[in-house]
Structure 1
Amino acid sequence: MSTRAWTWVHKWSSLVCTLFMLLLCLTGLPLIFHEEIEHLSGVVEAPPMPEGTPNVSLDRIAQAALARRPGEVIRYMFWEQDEHPDITYVSMARSVDAPPEENNAVIVDSRTARVLDEPKTNEGFMYVMLKLHVDMFAGLPGMLFLGFMGLLMVVAIVSGVVLYHPFMRRLKFGALRTQRSARIKWLDWHNLLGIVTVVWLCVVGLTGTINTLNRIILGIWQMDQMAEMTAPYKGLPPVTRPAHLEASIRAAREAVPDMEVRLVAFPGTMFSSPHHYTFFLRGGTPVTSRLLKPALVDAGTGRLTDSRDMPWYVKTLFLSQPLHFGDYGGLPLKLLWALLDLFAIAVLGSGLYLWLRKPKGATAPDLASDDLADAGPVPAHALRHGGANEVTS
């Protein structure tokens, strides 16, 4: 491609996605520290008890949740042992097929089956930040739209890197022309921060795009592997008297003894079937702790019927999620992610500023001659790029 073509690609991909990327960077900043913010905001934790206190059976926990919200059913149970130890989260609704927004949460102490809280899941600062970051309160269309904006950002980054080399051919790497106009200074900072964060921005952009396909990928898994695992039960009447939950989870643990249960999907829910409990288990290594393995247990008999590793496309989704938010390396990595996020905000903001403040009626060669006057003699194609880079930033 010619320099002019790369310039056109960089200009329009940048202009289309900049405002949405600014939104994602600004909302993503508090989401990086969601655990710390939750603790500071007073989220309920399990009270201290002697170390090694055993957990009660899941059946008692289920009974406590049902007693707290009579007339509702349990759809999911899940645990975040690393973040909130000794807590069981119970997701309930009027029916197993109720819309996700009708979810009601009950927090239960895993050791005593005492209900600790019924938090509101659809309000508060972090909820607003998450919804803006995920789908802008527009559901699946908003999610897919933001995924497309992420791809445009990657295109803008790649085209910017292609254009950066000839532009800086006669300047030292990272040079800041502090004696020039304010606009030139902004241009140099824009280019410097952009090239420093290029790898991180590509990683975050691509993983974010993958995450926006979450519902589609899991839907494919349901029609593919999940349908194959539950095929022998097709056409059978739903289970009306499910087996004991504790016996069912014990069957899943015995089938995969080196993994721990992270989530239970009850019969009839989105990630199960009318005849099964689906237990999603995770490993103990840095990689396998981010992956889930389903184990299906017959809800009528409490016996394991199938357990398989997830297909590659689901694994790709699971591995992209922690990489996107930097939540797999503790606080130091979160701080690094936050710093890079601030750099990205500066790149996007400076690019928008440069575009809005471009001289009226100026052409690319005119701008190039002014911007690169301090860089010494340069080839014609570099002059064309230098001006184009400023125009499009």
Structure 2
Amino acid sequence: MSPKKWFAVHSFAGFYFGWLMLLVCLSGTLAVVSHEIEYLSDAKFRASGASGPVPWAQLQAELDRQYAGYQILALELPDQPYLAGEISLVRQHEFLFVYFDPASGQLTGEGEWGRLSRYLRNLHMYLSMGDVGKVLVTALSFLLAALLVSSFYVYKQWWKGLLKWPGRLTLQKRTHWSDWHKWLGACSWPFILIITLTGLWYFTEFWLLRLKVEHYPSVPKLSQPADSAAVLPLAELVQKAQQAAPWLEVRAVNFPVQAKAAVMLSGQDGNPLYRNRANRVYLHPNSGEIIQTQRQGDLGLVGTLVDIADPLHFGSFAGLGVKLLYLLFGLALTFLVASGLWLHRLRTRRQQPELAKWYGLHGALCLLLVLVALAMTTTNFSQREIERLPLSPVLGSAGVRS
């Protein structure tokens, strides 16, 4: 194709769904450091940062003492040592997050389902619109791919501009915006490629799940229903899992909500590029017997893609430095989308001076979708319905919170 046609492709991909892409890029960028923002906002999200194994028995004792009558639904350790771990507790229809210091087992506070990280997650992943929103968000990766490929044809010999500082930025000067747009695009294209590829995978994974295509190791089922009154406590389950699978650094525990489901403990096996769920140990809730194990090295190609997509997409695989780098490039990508919209406006305002007609019906619908997504997320992000109580021991013995 000619450079003019490539430019038309570039303009189409960046303009017609620009507001939606801007929302997804900005929410995803902030989601990268959402836990760090929470860390700065409230002491309950902070841990001591000390190293060493989690004192599970101490943590269990603290939960029994302070949250008698509750049940543990799940537990998760953070990716970074300065962040507090979180435990999901339920009692009848009540849900509660309890935070703790992984190094000492001391509880640091509690909170409800709704928080900044949840708001950004709901907005970025599916616009709070269920499957329809998921498809819309992941389908944007095709537009991002079109923008990335076309940019190399639109911006000839882009590598020569890497060391050329674009200079000042004037609101109404199209050449200034163009210089910044090109420079930031040239600097950040490897990051955009990662986001595009992982986004394309999310789109593919959605349809694999939707169409029930087998692509990941199956979850085992118990031959007989477990006795809900005889489920082992958290500390004992972790101990049995570590004895049977010393290779597993336990970082998450999920109690079942069905009588024939096993307790799942997951974590790390030496490669943080895989998310915790790549390594799993399934235990019988009553006996602690190992039902099944799963290690990252045993996953096939598709299974590997499932478990490395999130760390690559959000930069959670290598500490705070990489997360800050993702934040920087995420802001650059957000600016690229915003500046592309503004450049289109500056380039075409003489032919179409009226803003409403310039953006058109498609633009108005896209902007309406953005506003609806923001409204729905703001309204619903703090809601968590408890459909089934977990098969986990009732904490404490009095049955009443102290």
2:68 is matched with which residue?
A: 67
User: Does the C-alpha gap of structure 1 residues 340 and 284 become closer, same or farther in structure 2, counting only changes over 3 Å?
Assistant: same
Which of 153, 156, 161 lines up with 1:165 in the alignment? Answer: 156
Contact 2:273/2:312, CA 8 A, preserved across alignment: no
Tell whether 2:197 aligns with 1:196: no
1:388 is matched with which residue?
A: none
2:273 is matched with which residue?
A: 287
1:25 is matched with which residue?
A: 25
2:74 is matched with which residue?
A: 76
Contact 1:283/1:289, CA 8 A, preserved across alignment: no
Contact 2:162/2:187, CA 8 A, preserved across alignment: no
Structure 2 CA distance, aligned partners of 1:145 and 1:115?
40
Q: 1:349 deviation in Å?
A: 1.9
1:301-323: per-residue Cα shift (whole Å, max 9, x none)? Answer: 22112112353434323322222
Structure 1 CA distance, aligned partners of 2:205 and 2:69?
32
Structure 1 CA distance, aligned partners of 2:162 and 2:214?
54
2:136 is matched with which residue?
A: 145
Structure 2 CA distance, aligned partners of 1:147 and 1:28?
12
Contact 1:218/1:314, CA 8 A, preserved across alignment: no
Matches within 5 A, 1:243-392: 243-245=231-233, 246-268=235-257, 274-287=260-273, 292-309=278-295, 311=299, 312-359=301-348
Matches within 5 A, 1:216-231: 225-227=217-219, 229-230=220-221
Contact 1:144/1:213, CA 8 A, preserved across alignment: no
Which of 239, 244, 259 lines up with 2:227 in the alignment? Answer: 239
Q: 1:146 deviation in Å?
A: 0.9
Structure 1 CA distance, aligned partners of 2:214 and 2:65?
31
Partner of 2:317: helix, strand, or coil? Answer: coil
Q: 1:351 deviation in Å?
A: 1.1
Contact 2:231/2:285, CA 8 A, preserved across alignment: yes
Q: 1:254 deviation in Å?
A: 2.2
Equivalenced residues, count? 344
Aligned partner letter, 1:187: S
Aligned partner letter, 1:193: L
Partner of 1:226: helix, strand, or coil? Answer: coil
Contact 2:53/2:103, CA 8 A, preserved across alignment: no
Contact 2:88/2:98, CA 8 A, preserved across alignment: yes
Structure 2 CA distance, aligned partners of 1:42 and 1:90?
17
Aligned partner letter, 2:87: V
Contact 1:35/1:83, CA 8 A, preserved across alignment: no
Higher relative contact order (CA 8 A, sep 6+): 2
Structure 2 CA distance, aligned partners of 1:212 and 1:356?
31
Contact 1:61/1:110, CA 8 A, preserved across alignment: no
Aligned partner letter, 2:255: F
Contact 1:65/1:108, CA 8 A, preserved across alignment: no
Structure 1 CA distance, aligned partners of 2:85 and 2:167?
57
Contact 1:75/1:91, CA 8 A, preserved across alignment: yes
Tell whether 2:109 aligns with 1:121: no
User: Does the C-alpha gap of structure 1 residues 255 and 218 become closer, same or farther in structure 2, counting only changes over 3 Å?
Assistant: farther
Structure 2 CA distance, aligned partners of 1:29 and 1:77?
26
Matches within 5 A, 1:177-196: 182-196=173-187
Structure 2 CA distance, aligned partners of 1:205 and 1:328?
18
Q: Percent identity?
A: 22
User: Does the C-alpha gap of structure 1 residues 112 and 128 become closer, same or farther in structure 2, counting only changes over 3 Å?
Assistant: closer
User: Does the C-alpha gap of structure 1 residues 276 and 129 become closer, same or farther in structure 2, counting only changes over 3 Å?
Assistant: closer
Structure 2 CA distance, aligned partners of 1:25 and 1:34?
14
1:93 is matched with which residue?
A: 90
Partner of 2:251: helix, strand, or coil? Answer: strand
Structure 2 CA distance, aligned partners of 1:307 and 1:345?
41
User: Does the C-alpha gap of structure 1 residues 157 and 94 become closer, same or farther in structure 2, counting only changes over 3 Å?
Assistant: same
Structure 2 CA distance, aligned partners of 1:249 and 1:321?
25
User: Does the C-alpha gap of structure 1 residues 242 and 150 become closer, same or farther in structure 2, counting only changes over 3 Å?
Assistant: farther
User: Does the C-alpha gap of structure 1 residues 103 and 147 become closer, same or farther in structure 2, counting only changes over 3 Å?
Assistant: farther
Q: 1:122 deviation in Å?
A: 0.9
Structure 1 CA distance, aligned partners of 2:247 and 2:178?
54
Structure 1 range deviating more: 4-13 or 283-292: 283-292
Contact 1:207/1:323, CA 8 A, preserved across alignment: yes
1:16 is matched with which residue?
A: 16
TM-score by length of 1: 0.71
1:208-246: per-residue Cα shift (whole Å, max 9, x none)? Answer: 45457777777869995234x33xx35x33433334233
Q: 1:154 deviation in Å?
A: 1.7
Contact 1:264/1:279, CA 8 A, preserved across alignment: yes
Partner of 1:56: helix, strand, or coil? Answer: helix
Aligned-residue CA RMSD (Å)? 4.1
Q: 1:48 deviation in Å?
A: 10
Contact 2:55/2:105, CA 8 A, preserved across alignment: no
Partner of 2:111: helix, strand, or coil? Answer: coil
Contact 2:98/2:107, CA 8 A, preserved across alignment: yes
Contact 1:64/1:114, CA 8 A, preserved across alignment: no
Partner of 2:218: helix, strand, or coil? Answer: helix
TM-score by length of 2: 0.70
User: Does the C-alpha gap of structure 1 residues 207 and 357 become closer, same or farther in structure 2, counting only changes over 3 Å?
Assistant: same
